[in-house]
Homo-oligomer: A and B are copies of this chain.
Amino acid sequence: MKKSLLVLAIAGACLNAAHAQSSVTVYGDVDVGLVKKTDTTLAIGKRDSNALGFKGVEDLGGGLKALFQVEIRFEPDTGTLESVTRPLFQGQSRVGLQGDFGMLRLGRGVSALMESIQAFEPFHGLPTTTGFYTDVIVAGYTNQPLDAAGNSFNRMSNALFYNSPEFNGFQLNTTVATKEANSGIALIGRGTAALPQYPANAQASANPFSVSATYKSGPVAALAAYERNVVESKLWTLGASVIASGDIKLMADYSRQDRGHTLAANSKTKAWVIGVNYAIGAGKLLAGYGRKQPDGVVATREASIGYEHSLSKRSYIYVDASNKKAATAVRYYDVGIRHAF
């Protein structure tokens, strides 16, 4: 009898604890390290993006779920947001429904292509100089060049995001945005400074969209994706990866970009990257080589090697080195810690 009461009391206490916090998960990561770049002073910097986010899932019954997620991005070395022109919830701000039909969300987030491509890059999409994602694979392509300067290159605002269910290893993800203006900068393009192709706070000339198709079968994965941005630049990519043995993953990606709508000459860029991940006990070795060739400009070649050592499932320390050659060569080294929460 007394035990039952105790059990009930505990149950009550637990329910209260759960209640007090309703359904929100606070999550994020902090990644800080020492960074040294050719001809630059030793700095405290980052290797991964840093996030503080809030998310939740509500079970609506019948397999249907409501979900939301908002995510702050920040620089832990100075405590600031990623940039004064980036939104508070730079990471994402979305609400939607998930069910047998897949997942449908509205708001701001990483586009379908930009999200899918990260699995085919040896530094798993890290924004650091040692990775190939930002500067090589997508070759400086930016989703919203009519937004404020410095805004994100791989996200869409005012968008609808649809992820299909996985079907025999296939999945289709799509992002479509409205044409609405976002108080951004002018883009001269094929116009002149006096009469820019897109004046300040211009609308998109076509609805931006992004589509990615992925396929997974045992150790093999493949990607084909295409997107068009607010000024009708186009980007497509093909990627593939294979788990050669239990601890080795090989991967490659090829991308092409066409900015012909805003550039009269030298509007195309090709890029490719090959890479390997090699798991060694609690450690993982990352290595890759990539090349970016914009028309009429000297090619960029990058070779990078990195090592991540897990302290736990949520924390690892890392060390990286990379060499990037274009007109000049830049060497880059970092060592630091990343903690997810």
Q: Which residues of A contact B (CB under 8 A)?
A: 3-4, 6-7, 10-11, 13-18, 20-28, 30-33, 41-44, 52, 54, 56, 58, 60-61, 64, 66-68, 70, 72, 74-81, 87-97, 106-108, 157-160, 177-180, 182, 203, 311-312, 314-315, 336-339, 341
Residues on B with C-beta less than 8 A from A21 are 17, 20-21, 25-26
B158 touches A77 (CB 8 A): yes
Distance, CA A79 to CA B71, complexed state (A):
9
Instruction: Report whether B79 and A157 are in contact in the complex, using a CB–CB cutoff of 8 Å.
Output: yes
**Contact of A314 with B77 in the complex, beta carbons under 8 Å:** no
Contact of A3 among B3, B64, B108, B341 (CB under 8 A): B3
| Cβ contacts under 8 Å, A92 to chain B | 79
- Of all chain B residues, the one with the shortest Cβ separation from A11 is B10
In Å, the complex CA distance between A320 and B81 comes to 36
A33 to B96, CA, bound (A): 10
What 7 new A-B contacts, CB under 8 Å, besides A13-B18, A77-B106?
A17-B21, A22-B26, A32-B107, A44-B107, A64-B311, A70-B76, A79-B89
Structural contact, B95 and A87, CB atoms closer than 8 A: no
How far does the alpha carbon of A338 sit from the alpha carbon of B96 in the complex, in Å? 9
Task: Indicate whether A26 sits within 8 Å of B54 (C-beta atoms), given known contacts A74-B89, A106-B337, A311-B66.
Answer: yes
For residue A234, give the distance in angstroms from its CB to the closest CB of chain B: 22
B74 and A94 form a contact (CB under 8 A):
no
- A61, A67, A68, A159 — most chain B CB neighbours (10 Å): A68
**Which residue in B31, B66, B95, B178 is a CB contact (below 8 Å) of A41?**
B178
B residues near A16, Cβ cutoff 8 Å: 18
Residues of B within 8 A of A72 (CB): 88
Given contacts A58-B312, A178-B43, A341-B68, contact A81 B76 (CB under 8 A): no
Listed by A's residue number, 24 A-B pairs whose Cβ atoms lie within 8 Å are A10-B10, A13-B18, A14-B14, A14-B17, A21-B25, A24-B341, A30-B68, A31-B95, A41-B178, A41-B203, A43-B180, A44-B160, A44-B178, A58-B315, A58-B339, A60-B311, A66-B314, A66-B315, A68-B341, A75-B93, A76-B106, A77-B107, A77-B108, A80-B89
